[in-house]
Each structure stands twice: as C-alpha cells, then as structure tokens.
Amino acid sequence: MSGNQSTKRLWRDVRVFDGHDTLPEPMAVIVEGERIARLVPMRKFDASRATDCEEMARGGVMTPGLVDCHTHLVFGGSRADEFESRLEGVSYEEIARQGGGILSTVRATREASEEALFDAALSRLQALMNDGVTTVEIKSGYGLTVEDELKMLRVARRLGDALPVRVVTTLLGAHALPPEFKNDSDGYIDLVCHEMIPAAAAQGLADAVDVFCEKIAFSVAQCERVFEAAEAHGLPIKAHVEQLSNLGGTAMAARHGALSADHIEYLDEAGVAALHEAGSVAVLLPGAFHTLGETKQPPIATLREAGVPMALATDANPGSSPLFMPTLMLNLGCVLFRLTPREALAGMTAHGARALGRPELGRIQEGAPADLCLWNIDTAAELAYAVQPGRLRQRIFNGRLEGG
Ligand code: NIG
Ligand code: FE
C-alpha cells in the first residue's frame, strides 16, 4: 500500500497489554505510518481530534505482536519415528548417542535443496504468524558444514524477505558433532570458530551465535571458544544450557554477556545470580520439557526473586519440540512452569524481544514499531488460559494490517 507513512489508524476501546502489564483502563491506540503514535485512555479520548484517522476496530484485547525468540524452523525431514521410539522408552539422549536425533535431521537437511527447505519452513512460519507472531528468531544448526549452515541461514533470511514478519537469524554451528568429526570435537570447534563464524559474519547472515552446551554436544570450554570467536566478529551470543544436566554453561555464557540462556531446567542458584549480574534473559522452553517428558523444572521462583527477565518461546524443531503454536506455549508455561499468565505473555513479548537484543520490539508504547495483535478475548489472561486457535482478529506488522 502506498502512502503508508502518512496514514493514521485508530483502534478504540481496546484493553492493552503493553508487554509487561495490562493497562488499567480501555485505550485508544493511534498508529502513524510504521510507529505507535499515541496511546490515550478512552476517558480522555477526543474523537473530534482523530477525524483524520482510519478507524480499524473497536473492542478486544491488544498485545504487542508475539516474539518467538527461539526456534529451529528451517529443517529437512521428520522425526515421527523417533517420537515413537521415545514413547517406547528410549530417551532423547540415547537416540542422540545412537546417531539419531539432531544428526538424523542433519542428514535430511544436507540432502534438501534450498528451495525445499524454504517451502517447508514457509508453512511452519505461516502457522506461527497465524497465531500472532511478528518477530521470530530462526537458528541454523542442522547443516554442520560451512556451506550447509550458510544455506540454512540464507533460507531464514529469505523467509523474512518473503513474509510480513521480522526474522532474526542465529548461527548454531556448535549444535552437534557431525559424523566427519567423530572423535575430533575440538577439530570441529576449530571449523566453527575459524571458518563458519567468519563466513556467516562476512555475508551478514547471522545476527547472533548460539551453542549447545551439554554432554551429548559440546563442553563449557569448547562453547567458550565459540563465544570468543563470535565476539571477535562483533556478534552477540546465546546458549542452549543446563537442559539435561548442569555443566555450568550458563555462568560462562553470562560472563560473556550473553543475550540469553535457554532451556535451563538444571540451572542452580549460582547460575541464576550470574544471569542477574549480566542482565541476560532466561528463555524458558516448555514445549521441549513437555515433549521430552522432563520432570526437572527450571528454577522459576529463584529467577523471579532475582528479577531475571524470563522469556518464553516455542523452540519449534523436529525433535524436542515439534510444536508450532506460540499461544500453546503461554498455556504450557503456566501449567508446567507455574508462570502467571502475565509473566507468560511478557515472556513472549517484551522479554522475548530483549532476548534477541531488540528491546524496542514487543512493547506497546508511543514511538515503538507498530507490531500489534488484536484478539477476540476480554482479558489478556485468556490467551494463556484457553488453547483456542482463531482468536486473532487482526495482525498488524510494521503499521500495516495483514490480510485486511
Ligand atoms: O532446543 N537442545 C538442543 N537443540 C534443540 C533440539 C534440536 C533437535 O532435537 O532437533 C532444542 O531442544
Ligand atoms: Fe533449541
């Protein structure tokens, strides 16, 4: 649509969840061009001053567009067979040790063309968008060669160009040890540090660098080398840490100023303190906890007391979280991790954005980019309370109404 810059759009009588809380009274929201221009309590709203606005809707709950800050949306193949093995009692770790799990997706992703990866990811991304997502992080990590990791990142970037959604990319070269490097994990880390990170940085394909710090993946020392290489190329870092055991990766990542520490079921008090000190975000992934039938809960109460911001994401991937529905995560975050609905929603808006180093997103405030969702519900808590597709009435990306 042309003339977007000058267009003013008005929503009246909406209940606004601003990224942290529900505002105390019904509001009028005015968007000008790509930004939120004014937020006015209805009580003070003077309609005669808004005659130049196009009226978009009245009533409903408005939230920031959802921010899914941790996904592995680009991948080849399926792991339905592994799902069945797990139901028969084989653990995620055993499957990984037998060469399945992540490595099975690596085989399928290497074989897939860029076009095939793009097409498959497009429909997954559309599912997230239909559930309110306006910003999504997409990791590589199923290529594990320089070319295949870059291929995944190119697909992620193209998705952002093709659809009305912000895509933030993360290089996850240190996700699993590829078969070519069996018995030489340090050699593989050399490749990540000396070739993968420089290539991704030079081509502008990665916005951040991530690692999987775990017994079935890489040690704390190896992950630290990856972070040093990321720093040398000016890239922020994130980490999959303390998911299946406590190795101390979180504290090391925090020392390096990580944007976020993700999973963290096994995080201890020292790790929480390290996150607090570094100002890092704790990213909670209840989809993986649910899918893998975990019982060890992340230390929610300790994180809450320490004031560590908690984000919530789908971790959408073919193995540990084949769940492509962000609002389901709001529900699982509350039911499985005892978050309040307010915390869950802040986790998928303001705190999710912060976990991506994009604190201007995930907020409804004057001057912020106008990424918004209008929902057919009466209170924001209903988004977490009921799992019910079809409640998204309008999705506004960068000031523009999508599909309307
Ligand atoms: O976030 N923990 C490691 N990586 C992904 C799982 C990837 C997979 O199983 O394919 C995760 O859970
Ligand atoms: Fe993950």
Q: What is the pLDDT of residue 12?
A: 98
Q: Give the mean pLDDT of the chain.
A: 97
Task: Sort 37 into a burial class: Cβ within 10 Å, 0-12 / 13-18 / 19+.
Answer: middle
DSSP 185: H
Which ligand is closest in space to the CA of residue 78? 1
Q: 263 a known binding residue?
A: no
pLDDT digits (tens, 9 = 90+) for 220-261: 999 999 999 999 999 999 999 999 999 999 999 999 999 999
Q: What is the pLDDT of residues 365-381, one digit of tens each?
A: 999 999 999 999 999 99
Using the Cα atoms of residue 178, residue 184, residue 189 and residue 190 in order, give the sign of their dihedral.
negative
> Quick one: pLDDT band at residue 6, thresholds 50, 70, 90?
low
The pLDDT of residue 36 is: 98
Q: Which atom of ligand 1 is nearest to the CA of 142?
A: 10
Per-residue pLDDT reduced to its tens digit, 172-203: 999 999 999 999 999 999 999 999 999 999 99
Q: Which residues contact 338 (CB under 8 A, 6 or more apart)?
A: 300
Two tokens, residue 397: 């990306």
CA of 362 to the centre of ligand 2 (A): 21
Ligand-binding site membership of 210 (annotated): no
- What's residue 82's pLDDT? 96
Residue type, 298: P
Say whether 72 counts as a known binding-site residue: yes
Q: Is the pLDDT of residue 3 over 70?
A: no
Distance between Cα 15 and ligand 1 center (Å):
36
Q: Whose CA is nearest to atom 12 of ligand 1?
A: 320
223 token code pair:
């992950």
Ligand 1 atom 6: residue of nearest CA: 320
For CA atoms 128, 338, 27, 362, give the dihedral sign.
negative
* DSSP symbols for 286-318: HHHHHHTT------HHHHHHHT--EEE-----S
Q: What is the DSSP letter of 248?
A: S
Give 142 Cα–ligand 1 centroid separation in angstroms: 10
- Residue 18 scores a pLDDT above 90: yes
pLDDT at 95: 96
The tens digit of pLDDT for each residue in 89-114 reads 999 999 999 999 999 999 999 999 99
Residue 122, H or E segment: helix 114-130
Fold identical between 4-64+364-401 and 66-355? no
CA distances from residue 257 to 228, 253, 274, 378 in whole angstroms, order as listed? 11, 7, 10, 39
pLDDT for residue 7: 87
Examine the pLDDT at 336 and tell me if it is beyond 90.
Answer: yes
CB 386 within 8 A of CB 41: no
Q: What is the mean pLDDT of residues 306-320?
A: 98
d(CA 303, CA 275): 9
Sequence-ordered list of residues with C-beta below 8 angstroms from that of 88, at least 6 positions apart, any chain: none
CATH number for region 66-355: 3.20.20.140
DSSP 257-290: T-SEEEE-TT--HHHHHHHHHHTPEEEE-HHHHH
Inform me whether the pLDDT recorded for 68 exceeds 60: yes
- Residue 2 in this model has a pLDDT that exceeds 50: no
- By CB atoms closer than 10 A (0-12, 13-18, 19+), residue 268 is middle
Give the C-alpha separation, 339 to 333, whole Å: 6
Q: Which stretches of 5-120 are assigned E, i.e. beta strand?
A: 8-16, 27-32, 35-41, 54-58, 61-64, 66-68
* Ligand 1 atom, smallest distance to 70 CA: 1
ipTM: 0.97
Domain range annotation of the chain: 4-64+364-401, 66-355
Measure 10 CA to ligand 1 centroid, in angstroms.
42
pLDDT at 314 over 60: yes
Which residues on adjacent β-strands are paired with residue 29? 11, 39
Q: How far apart are CA 386 and CA 375, in angstroms?
A: 13
Q: Could you tell me the distance, in angstroms and rounded to a whole number, from the CA of residue 23 to the centre of ligand 1?
A: 37
What does the pLDDT read at residue 1?
Answer: 44
* pLDDT, tens only, 252-272: 999 999 999 999 999 999 999
For ligand 1, residues with CB inside 6 Å are: 72, 101-102, 105, 212, 240, 243, 288, 315, 317-320
Distance in angstroms (rounded) separating the CA atoms of residues 338 and 105: 32
Q: Closest ligand 1 atom to the C-alpha of 262?
A: 1
CB 220 within 8 A of CB 240: no
Residues with Cβ within 8 Å of 246's Cβ and at least 6 positions away in sequence, in order, are: 266, 267, 268, 271
Residue 191, C-beta contacts closer than 8 angstroms, at least 6 positions apart? 146, 173, 181
Mean pLDDT within 285-308: 97
Q: Identify which of 136, 140, 118 has the alpha carbon closest to the alpha carbon of residue 128.
A: 136
Whole-angstrom Cα distance, residue 159 to residue 149? 16
Distance CA 144, CA 344 (A): 33
- Whole-structure pTM over 0.80, yes or no? yes
CA-92 nearest atom, ligand 1: 9
Is 276 annotated to bind a ligand? Reply is no
CATH of domain 4-64+364-401: 2.30.40.10
